[in-house]
């Protein structure tokens, strides 16, 4: 059976290779600019988490997330600079700190860090879908598709860690009236 993701990727690549690139439209610029801001914010949060947690699995996941986001930051910055678009102002990277140096009233718990990552991950996945659906230029569409793929792969890696540690927040189950238990 054909893999839908491979089909989309292959279709975008063939169009990208032969297409003359026009200027980015305002929606493409806004989506890239906003997503870049989200990625930078996610990395600042990951840095705070790395300074706070002592959980080995969470540390590895935060490093993985930071690396994925940083690669996307570099790619988007390159495109925006080539198109003459100024980059959004972002917070400076956080300095390395020892977990023990953070007062307990200020320190995030592992559960708070883990769920903060999930919120940023869900937002990124949703935003990649929006960017992909609004892209006119095939190279931008392909970039969004690749970003989405990276975020979904990270989710598949990260969710078992969340389950293992009991960090997943599950909403109450919905049982309609009259449904047998």
Each domain of the chain, given as residue ranges in start order, spans 23-86+103-165
For the stretch 102-106, contacts whose Cβ atoms lie closer than 8 Å and that sit 24 or more positions apart, written own/partner, are 102/51, 102/52
Q: What is the pLDDT of residue 18?
A: 63
3-state secondary structure (DSSP) of residue 82:
helix
3-state secondary structure (DSSP) of residue 12:
helix
Q: What is the pLDDT along the chain (181 residues), one digit of tens a residue?
A: 556 666 666 655 655 556 678 899 999 999 999 999 999 999 999 999 999 999 999 999 999 999 999 999 999 999 999 999 999 999 999 999 999 999 988 899 999 999 999 999 999 999 999 999 999 999 999 999 999 999 999 999 999 999 999 999 888 988 888 776 6
Separation of alpha carbons 64 and 70, rounded Å:
10
Q: What is the pLDDT of residue 166?
A: 95
Secondary structure of the chain: what % helix, strand, coil (to 5)?
70, 0, 30
Other CB atoms within a 10 A radius of the CB of residue 96 amount to 8
CATH 3.10.50.40 fits 23-86+103-165, yes or no: no
Nearest CA-CA partner of 144 in 165, 174, 124, 116: 124
Q: What is the pLDDT of residue 19?
A: 64
Q: List b or e across 43-64, with b for residues whose CB sees 16 or more CB atoms inside 10 angstroms.
A: bbbbbbbbbbbebebbeebbee
């Amino acid at each position: 059976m054909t893999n839908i993701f491979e089909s989309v990727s292959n279709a975008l690549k063939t169009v990208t290779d032969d297409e003359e690139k026009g200027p980015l439209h305002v929606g493409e610029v806004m989506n890239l600019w906003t997503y870049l801001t989200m990625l930078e914010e996610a990395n600042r949060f990951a840095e705070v988490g790395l300074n706070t947690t002592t959980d080995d699995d969470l540390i590895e996941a935060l490093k993985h997330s930071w690396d994925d986001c940083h690669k996307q930051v570099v790619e988007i910055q390159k495109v925006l600079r080539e198109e003459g678009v100024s980059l959004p102002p972002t917070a400076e990277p956080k300095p390395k700190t020892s977990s023990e140096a953070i007062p307990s009233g200020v320190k995030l718990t592992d559960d708070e860090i883990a769920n903060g990552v999930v919120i940023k991950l869900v937002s990124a996945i949703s935003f990649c879908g929006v960017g992909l659906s609004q892209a006119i230029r095939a190279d931008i569409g392909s970039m969004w598709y690749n970003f989405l793929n990276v975020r979904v792969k990270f989710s598949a890696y990260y969710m078992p860690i969340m389950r293992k540690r009991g960090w997943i927040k599950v909403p109450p189950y919905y049982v309609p009236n009259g449904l047998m238990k």
